[in-house]
Amino acid sequence: MSIREVIGKPLGKSIMKDVRRHQEKVMDQVRKHIGDIIANEDIITGDRKRKVRITVRALKDYYFRFAPPKTKAKDGSGKGPGSVAGDEPGEALFDAEFDLDELIDIALEDCGLPNLRQREAFEIEVPKGYRVKSIEKSGLWTLFDKRRTARAAISRITDFIVFLMKETGCTQEEAEIALILSKGDVQKTYQLLLKVKRGEITLPKKMLGKFFLSGDDYRFFELEEELEKVSNAAVYLLRDWSGSTDRYKYLIRMSSSWLSEAIRRLYRNVRIIFIGYENEPERVSENDFFARSASGGTVAYRAYELVQKLIKTETPLDFWDVFVYQFSDGDDFQISTAGLRMEELLKSGVNFVGYGEMTDRDTKSASGTLMTEFEQRFSLKIISGEGHKIYHSKNRPFRGMVFGDKKHLRILVTTFLPKELKEEV
Amino acid sequence: MTELKRLRKIEEFVLERLKAYGLNTVLQKFDIISEDRMLALIARRLPNNFSFWQTGRDYERFRTRFEHGFGHGILEVVFNLDPSRAFILNTVPFASKVLTVCHVYGHNHFFSNNAYFRHTRRNMLSSASAARERFLEYEKRFGINKVEEILNAAKAFEVNVDPDLGRLPETQEHMRKRLLVAIVEIPENDQTLKPLSKKMKKEQADLKEELESGKLVFAERDILLFILENSPMIEDIRDPAWRAAVLDMISVVWEQSRYFMPQRETHGMNEGFAVMVHELLMVDLLRAGLLTDQEFSDYADINGKVLANSPDHLNQYLLFSLVWKSIKERWNKGQFGKEWEECRDVWKKQNWDTKAGLGQEKVLQVCQTHSDWRFIDEFITQEVVDELLCFDGEDINHVKPLVLKMMENFGRPLVHVKDGNFENKREWMLDHVYDGRDMDLEYLEKILQHGYTLWGRPVHLRTNVGDEQECTVFTHTGTSLKKEGGCKKGECVHINKPLMLLK
């Protein structure tokens, strides 16, 4: 029989270790399902700085259990055994909050522009993290440097003690105790020691004290962003905005905006050139690229010709790494010419060409599209996934993808932004 | 007077009253703690228990629930130890703390008197914290992922230990020895004795070989123990340190599960009894002037929430406390025995009162001997069923089997180990004792994968799916789950020998 209060004792580290471990596991789950998460339109189009709430299904522990009743029978109504409620917990869900930036970073893990070449003229800067630039006496508390602060304080206090010993002729222990008693104030310590010397007061023999920090002791890290310079890169984004792509408008917009966002996050100073095309290709601003749509027929090869022209005049391949991404529904009036021009484009020495084709899975427009033309011409290898197909080329820097749903966006990003371009089997 | 002082005074009074009611308790210690520690305690299940990610998950889940104010909050945690330890939340109102003190003494009596708790270890705390230290060491040495894999798998079979704690379990070895006695060998040259028939000779020889070679395994309910003793995965580990670690981790899970087994088996009774005790004591406290009217009404509010009678949920606290009360009343009024059972006069039965006054005595006796299942089986009455809203006044003969089925094997499917050497390949055969309810197949796949982790060879489970007449065998080969249908009931080829179910 005893009742006592044990309050204010800190929570052991152990439970926090388990909590962290659980969070890690949740993060792994988020990583696994990032494709579904980024398929939400508001993630990419919304405000970047806000937090996103995602409902995470709690990680289960498994055991032998009965199948849950399929329809919720009224409890105790006796429709069959197992209809008594209350013996199995329901599926546990909890809300987890993530920074949007964090999610996008997760989505873009292992992504990059392939085939970058070392050139003489450097312009692109790739963020490589942070490094310590210098140690300052003021700064952010998050960057507080404990070790250097302590070292500064120790050296200052040692100086004080040496000074006091010299001035008053006391021993080191006395000086230390006096310093503790006067809470680090030199003036007071000096007076105190004088009094001791005169015999007015006596100091306690032993005393444990604190460490006194003065304003001069504080040290903070000053950080600097570390940048690595890589060669120039230009990205040509081609969008088919003919009448037939109307039903894929949303999907095209999503995928091209994801791609441009991804490139901008991965590299600074990369130049993105937006081209929309129907009968005639047109170089447009970013806003126009996403907002506009037209109603003509489609001729893709002219767009390739425009790209070739722009490469020659604006981003010559001797100095630039050039990437071309195209989104289309695959309908084209001059398919064979388009294939020919594409071959020329690939031969001219661009780093990478990614071609995304939207299909409606119901209609299955399997033949007569750009993709089938490319497949035959470049003898591509097909890898089928869940509702999407990825086309790999053996000897050309080309990748194609046929897809029809926003859940394939994540695969699209990883397919079109591979760090290294190697053939997957 | 501070709260703490008042609480101590109340405890003294409570102890006096307990003696008067005939309850004998062991020394009880209370700690009043903050909510953080309380939530951590509940998540960990034992103070300073070993570190595991599920603990972190449960902590966050409890915290979310706590912060959103679901239910009536968590009032107390009590551990079956000697001396018994209980924890009270510091943020609850005073009435609730008093309630907790009374409630905990109810549990205390139950723990120290019920037969199912006789063999539980009462020094679990030191064993748990020692396990914690060791497990942290394993994490450092072998990596957290490897440790977690084993713990995850062992935890999956946590409930599959033998709950029959009244006696010590018979080991496989012992069973073998016991059966070997039954094998007779008659010397061939002895003419005075009648020789065995050919058939019998062969049967006996086969049995003997199987028993001696250790191939024959008896149906075993204690899956974790079976793994500890027979798993080829553990035998195959080459690193002795890792083998010892694996054995240690599984056996700690097994030990803790066995420690909590009596709690699982008597949970409803235990809570119902504690509710009855605190209801008695709180009224006594009010009468003695130790509680104010305001505090008593606070208590009544909390108690009402604990014993909420809901039409869509069977409240176990309510069910069991009603049965306890009905026992007390019936034995007080002499409503038992041959005369009472045979009486068909409804009017007479309603006013039956022989002034027997045996209520408290009967309650204490039942407290010692029963488990949840036996308790409901023996004492549930039509009156209790009528009071529960979720049964809608149905007939007892209909409700009772339902409730009993719910409690059978803690509401989990009963799974036995049938064979540790299936088809002579040391594969593992489990058998689900089918009772008309299907298993959850999603969970089944995962748990068989865990089984594969622990066994290291393909794992089979025989069960029935839906209304199919034939048995179905699920096989997990480590990478995938195969389903294979097969044999008619009663002629199953998957269990090639009729095995003895000795337990």
Interval A304-351: pLDDT, tens: 889 989 988 888 887 788 889 998 888 888 888 888 888 888 888 888
Q: Pick B402's closest partner by Cβ from A15, A22, A81.
A: A81
Residues B415 and A152: their CA atoms lie apart, in Å, by 67
Closest CA in chain B for residue A12: B37
Nearest to A65 among B157, B315, B413 (CB): B413
B137 and B121 in a common domain: yes
In a domain, B490, yes or no: no
B447:A63 CB<8 A: yes
Q: Which residues of B touch A5 (CB under 8 A)?
A: 4, 31-32, 90
Which residue carries 């388990």 as its tokens?
A18
Structural contact between residues B30 and B101, judged by C-beta atoms closer than 8 angstroms = yes
Taking an 8 Å cut-off on Cβ atoms, the answer to whether A78 and B313 are in contact is no
Boundary (domain end) residue, out of B220, B236, B254: B220
Name residue B250's amino acid.
Answer: I
Q: Do A85 and B158 touch (CB under 8 A)?
A: no
For residue B157, the chain A residues in CB contact (below 8 A) are 63
Whether B344 is in a domain gets the answer yes
Contact A202, A196 (CB under 8 A): yes
Q: H or E stretch including A15?
A: helix A13-32
Q: Are A73 and A82 in contact (CB under 8 A)?
A: no
Query: What's the distance, CA B222 to chain centroid?
Result: 13
Range(s) of the domain holding residue B74: 1-169+222-306
Chain A contacts of B438, Cβ < 8 Å? 66-67
Rounded alpha-carbon distances, angstroms, from residue B20 to B13, B83, B152, B280, B285:
11, 22, 48, 12, 14
Among B391, B409, B427, the domain boundary falls at: B409
Q: Are strands A352-358 and A398-403 parallel, antiparallel or unpaired?
A: parallel
Q: Judge: B398–A78 Cβ closer than 8 Å, yes or no.
A: yes
B158 contacts on A by Cβ (under 8 Å) = 63
- B39 plus B21 within the same structural domain: yes
Predicted ipTM beyond 0.85: no
Nearest CA in chain A to B98: A3
Nearest to B411 among A4, A11, A87 (CB): A87
Q: What are phi and psi of B117, to 5 degrees?
A: -95, 5
Q: What is the pLDDT along chain B (503 residues), one digit of tens a residue?
A: 688 899 999 999 999 999 999 998 899 999 988 888 888 888 888 888 899 998 988 888 888 777 776 645 556 888 888 888 899 888 888 888 999 999 999 999 999 999 888 877 677 888 888 899 999 999 999 999 999 999 999 999 988 887 665 445 566 677 777 767 767 777 777 777 777 778 877 877 777 777 776 655 666 788 888 888 888 999 899 999 999 999 999 989 988 888 888 888 899 999 999 999 999 999 999 999 999 999 999 899 888 888 888 888 888 889 999 999 999 999 998 888 888 888 888 888 888 888 888 889 999 999 999 989 889 999 998 888 888 888 877 888 888 988 888 888 888 888 888 878 777 788 888 888 887 788 888 889 889 999 999 999 999 998 877 766 677 888 998 888 888 876 655 555 554 443 443 33
Residue that the structure tokens 């095995």 belong to = B499
Q: Look up residue A347 and give its two tokens.
A: 């031969």
B316, part of any domain: no
Number of structural domains chain B divides into: 4
Q: Is residue B492 part of a domain?
A: no
Does any domain span residue B272? yes
Chain B: residue whose CA lies nearest to A65: B412
User: B246 and B364 share a domain?
Assistant: no
Query: Does B45 share its domain with B71?
Result: yes
Q: Are residues B248 and B350 in the same domain?
A: no
- By Cβ distance, the residue of B53, B313, B405 closest to A25 is B53
pLDDT band at A128 (very low <50, low <70, confident <90, very high): confident
Q: Which of A9, A67, A85 minimises the CB distance to B439?
A: A67
Residues 6+ apart with CB under 8 A from A114: A351, A352, A397, A417, A418, A419, A420, A421
- Is A408 buried (19+), middle (13-18) or exposed (0-12) by CB count in 10 A? buried
What's the rounded Cα separation, in Å, for the pair A135 and A129? 18
CB pairs under 8 A between A and B: 169
**Residue that terminates a domain, selected from B409, B431, B453:** B409
B449 belongs to a structural domain = yes
* Sequence-ordered list of residues with C-beta below 8 angstroms from that of B135, at least 6 positions apart, any chain: B50, B51, B147, B249, B252
Comparing C-alpha atoms, which of A17, A19, A15, A29 is closest to residue B139?
A17
Please indicate, yes or no, whether residues B184 and B50 belong to a single structural domain of this protein.
no
CB-neighbour burial class of residue B56 (10 A; exposed 0-12, middle 13-18, buried 19+): buried
- Minimum distance, in Å, between the CA of residue A71 and any CA atom of chain B: 15
Same domain for B419 and B474, yes or no, is: yes
Answer whether residue B498 is part of any domain.
no
Q: Are the Cβ atoms of B59 and A19 closer than 8 angstroms? A: yes
Judgement on whether residues B285 and B270 belong to the same structural domain of the protein: yes
Same domain, B274 and B358: no
How far is the C-alpha of B83 from the C-alpha of B122, rounded, in Å? 8
Give A114→chain B minimum CA distance, Å.
Answer: 34
Residues B43 and B162 in one domain: yes
Select the residue from B36, B57, B416 to test the A interface by mutation, using most A Cβ atoms within 10 A. Answer: B57
Q: Do B243 and B198 sit in the same domain of this protein?
A: no
Please name each of the domains of chain A with its CATH number: 14-62+92-107 (no CATH), 231-416 (3.40.50.410)
Q: Same domain, yes or no, for B67 and B159?
A: yes
Determine the distance in angstroms separating the CA of A10 from the nearest CA of chain B, rounded to an integer. Answer: 8
Q: β-strand B84-89 against B76-79: which pairing, if any? A: antiparallel
In a domain, B311, yes or no: no
CA distance A70 to chain B (A): 11
